[in-house]
Amino acid sequence: MKGRKLLMIPGPIEFEPEVLSALGAPTTSHVAPNFIQSFGNALRMMKKVWLAPTGQAFIMAGTGTLAMDMAGSNLIEKGDRALVISTGYFGLRYAELLKRYGAEVTVLEAPMGDVVSLEVIENELKNKSYKLLTFTHVDTSTAVLVDPKPIGALAQKYNVLSILDGVCSVAGEEIRQEEWGIDVVLTASQKAIGVPPGLALLVASTKAMEVWKNRKTPVANYYSDWANWLPIMQAYELGNPSYFGTPAVNLVMALEKSLEIILQEGMEIRFARHHKMATAFREALKAIGLKSIPLRDEISASTLSAPYYPNGIIGNQFLQNVNQEGVILAGGLLPSIKNDYFRIGHMGSINRADTLSTIGAIEVSLKRGGFIFEEGAGMKAAQKVLG
């Protein structure tokens, strides 16, 4: 494949050939028996990947932001209080989104590279009553990882609905939605789920669905309203045709294939593989002498890394050099430090060869940019982790 480059950005990612074949298959009717079967399978498998056996799964044409919008618009009524726990760009997006639906939003913003402490969160929940809280499992702008388990427990303790933005984590970071008591876990297809961009995915708890059913006012977003989509998801899961808006037929078939691949690997092995690859990247970056945005290893994502450029390295030139080496990386995203760091996505079918090629391309490009370090130190550190 002359000219093919290794796509190592935090979404979209490299996709499995079988997933791409499903995408390229002849499009069938959205009410054809084989498509109904695929849609139903995908809904059932989502609950296994999310570890939410009694949850309600939704598959929609749209991006991750639509999944955020669907959860927000269905659960918020004008005047409800919402607590947004933010670790970067996407936390702040959720705050803006919820305000559109009339929520009174309080934002707890983490210091750069850190998380909001559980004491601060608990204090807020103790002093003010909230209808829901949101948090970003991995904020793709900072690579900061938030531990969902204690936040789920706090939400339960204070009877607050919890929404986890898992766009950069589902099927990569450990999530046990039901065991951890998280009410909505949402994502998009193009990251660790392993399907080209275009699907918004979420699983809602029984409690979230009850809260929605007991709303006093109509959902302010016509397209996202669960009243339109719940009967469709239920019908497809039962093997019956149904229509509200035309499903993204080929993307759903690709999703079915990707979920099969994910479950074949097994969730525990998949979480461990992501963790190992991330550790290899982290150790390599440290050995080269690069600092990353997350302040500690325990709050560093398994799905991406966000290292600062060392002194003297010009971001655009570095990324171009990496590209010439055959690897595509992403620039910074957080507006205040956008030009000071870059991002490496390492999720989905990421393997040892991808990891080592990327580290090699980074080393060569840093050297070309004039940065002085022990050449090969990153490769050596990564290989030590990879065994």
Residues that bind ligand PMP (CB under 6 A): 11, 63-65, 90, 136, 139-140, 165, 167-168, 188
**Choice between 40 and 294, CB closer to ligand PMP:** 294
**Choice between 93 and 270, CB closer to ligand PMP:** 93
**Choice between 65 and 349, CB closer to ligand PMP:** 65
Instruction: Return the structure tokens found at 22.
Output: 């499903």
Rounded to the nearest whole angstrom, what is the least distance from the CB of residue 81 to ligand PMP in the complex?
22
**Residue 230 CA to its chain's centroid (Å):** 23
Cβ-in-10-Å burial (0-12, 13-18, 19+) of 179 comes to exposed
Size of the chain, expressed as the number of residues it contains:
387
Instruction: Return the structure tokens found at 81.
Output: 């209080």
**Choice between 12 and 360, CB closer to ligand PMP:** 12
- Cβ-Cβ contacts under 8 Å for 29 (sequence gap 6 or more): 35, 249
Residue nearest to ligand PMP (CB): 64
**Choice between 116 and 366, CB closer to ligand PMP:** 116
Rounded to the nearest whole angstrom, what is the least distance from the CB of residue 64 to ligand PMP in the complex?
3
* Beta strands, E only, the chain: 6-7, 56-61, 81-86, 104-109, 132-136, 138-139, 144-145, 161-165, 184-188, 199-204, 304-305, 327-328, 330-331, 342-345
Q: DSSP state, 216?
A: S
204 bridge partner residues: 56, 184
**Choice between 90 and 212, CB closer to ligand PMP:** 90
Rounded to the nearest whole angstrom, what is the least distance from the CB of residue 197 to ligand PMP in the complex?
6
**Choice between 134 and 321, CB closer to ligand PMP:** 134
Helix orientation angle between 206-213 and 226-238, rounded to the nearest 10 degrees: 130
The answer to whether the beta carbons of residues 363 and 310 sit under 8 Å apart is no
The answer to whether the beta carbons of residues 247 and 59 sit under 8 Å apart is yes
Instruction: Return the structure tokens found at 137.
Output: 């499992």
Rounded to the nearest whole angstrom, what is the least distance from the CB of residue 76 to ligand PMP in the complex?
17
Rounded to the nearest whole angstrom, what is the least distance from the CB of residue 33 to ligand PMP in the complex?
31
**Choice between 41 and 303, CB closer to ligand PMP:** 303
**Choice between 167 and 327, CB closer to ligand PMP:** 167
**Choice between 114 and 122, CB closer to ligand PMP:** 114
Q: What are phi and psi of 105, to 5 degrees?
A: -100, 130
What does the alpha-carbon distance between residue 86 and residue 356 come to, in Å, rounded to a whole number? Answer: 32
Rounded to the nearest whole angstrom, what is the least distance from the CB of residue 136 to ligand PMP in the complex?
5
Rounded to the nearest whole angstrom, what is the least distance from the CB of residue 168 to ligand PMP in the complex?
4
Rounded to the nearest whole angstrom, what is the least distance from the CB of residue 195 to ligand PMP in the complex?
12
Pairing of strands 330-331, 327-328: unpaired
Give how far Cα 73 sits from Cα of 76, 134, 233, Å. Answer: 6, 13, 18
Rounded to the nearest whole angstrom, what is the least distance from the CB of residue 310 to ligand PMP in the complex?
25
- Please report the DSSP string for 8-47 in residue order: -SSSS----HHHHHHHHSPP--TTSHHHHHHHHHHHHHHH
Rounded to the nearest whole angstrom, what is the least distance from the CB of residue 89 to ligand PMP in the complex?
8
Instruction: Return the structure tokens found at 178.
Output: 């039901």
